[in-house]
Amino acid sequence: MIDFKKAKFVLSSASLEGCPKDGKKEIVLLGRSNVGKSTLVNALLGQGLAYSSKTAGKTKTLNYFLVDGSFYLVDAPGYGYTAYGTGLDKMFASMMEDYFKSGRASGALLLLDSRRKLSDDDRAMLSLLQEDGVPFAIVFTKSDRAKQSEKALALKQLGETGAREVIFSPPKQGPTALRALVASFLKEQE
Ligand SMILES: Nc1nc2c(ncn2[C@@H]2O[C@H](COP(=O)(O)OP(=O)(O)OP(=O)(O)O)[C@@H](O)[C@H]2O)c(=O)[nH]1
Ligand SMILES: [Mg+2]
């Protein structure tokens, strides 16, 4: 059993070179800016280690959290945030492409807003995950703010993605299902 609450922040890096080199497995959180990645990291870890903000573009680096001394949860910057012009998104795209090519990710959680249509960037990220064969699950965030009809629509637009599982967050039963999902990605790669 992984003790998710036994977690610590390890490092931030804006490039692959600065990422940990100890070969521990990694689960990465992906999604547009402000979708709730850092918030989900904190929910998984049961503590406020990752910085979340009302303002989009808060996370600007790959942030590594070591969980129970055994694997890394990686909080990534969001895409689709244009306040810096397209430069940031280009940087994000090349950094994440490098990241996937490196084969570092044992699994990914792709976060989508329960109330919004899939953006072109969301679709591009789905394609990237599929092409690179990274096992992934979809987490629909902000479901506490979504109407039933919006949730139904969110599911409908997914189609065939090859996602392992689709979870609405925050889940009613707390982080248990999300933790089990992360554990299943790690187990598979043993
Ligand atoms: N109601 C509600 N608000 C949420 C949820 N998840 C995140 N938020 C809020 O959404 C805002 C953005 O959350 P973050 O976790 O910072 O988003 P992020 O994806 O890390 O954003 P970037 O770092 O900019 O890429 C914050 O104000 C959170 O409190 C949720 O499930 N429900
Ligand atoms: Mg963030």
Look up the domain containing 57 and give its range. 7-188
Q: Reduced to 3 states, what is the DSSP secondary structure of residue 166?
A: strand
The radius of gyration computed from the CA coordinates of the chain, to the nearest angstrom, equals: 15
- Half-sphere exposure at residue 149, Cβ-oriented, CA atoms within 13 angstroms: 0
Residue 107 lies in a domain: yes
pLDDT digits (tens, 9 = 90+) for 104-147: 999 999 999 999 999 988 988 898 888 888 999 999 999 999 99
CA of 57 to the centre of ligand 2 (A): 7
Residue 2 lies in a domain: no
Q: Supply φ then ψ for residue 87, to 5 degrees.
A: -55, -45
What total of structural domains would you count in the chain?
A: 1
CA of 123 to the centre of ligand 1 (A): 20
CA of 141 to the centre of ligand 1 (A): 8
pLDDT digits (tens, 9 = 90+) for 76-105: 988 876 555 555 567 777 788 888 889 999
Stretch (H or E) spanning 92: helix 86-101
Residue 128 lies in a domain: yes
Sequence letter at residue 82: T
Q: Supply φ then ψ for residue 148, to 5 degrees.
A: -55, -45
| Pocket, ligand 1, Cβ cutoff 6 A | 31, 33-39, 52-54, 56-59, 77-78, 141-142, 144-145, 169-170
CA of 190 to the centre of ligand 1 (A): 32
Nearest CA to ligand 1 atom 13: 36
pLDDT digits (tens, 9 = 90+) for 19-71: 999 999 999 999 999 999 999 999 999 999 999 999 888 888 899 999 999 99
The CATH code of the domain that includes 104 is 3.40.50.300
Angle at which helices 176-188 and 37-45 cross, to 10°: 90
Residue 12 lies in a domain: yes
pLDDT digits (tens, 9 = 90+) for 159-171: 888 899 999 999 8
Listed residue (70, 74, 19) closest to 44, CA to CA: 74
Residue 1 lies in a domain: no
Which two structure tokens, joined as six digits, stand for 136?
Answer: 């992934």
Per-residue model confidence (pLDDT) at position 97: 81
How far is residue 38's CA from residue 36's CA, in Å, rounded to a whole number?
A: 6
Residue 77 Cα: closest atom of ligand 1: 25
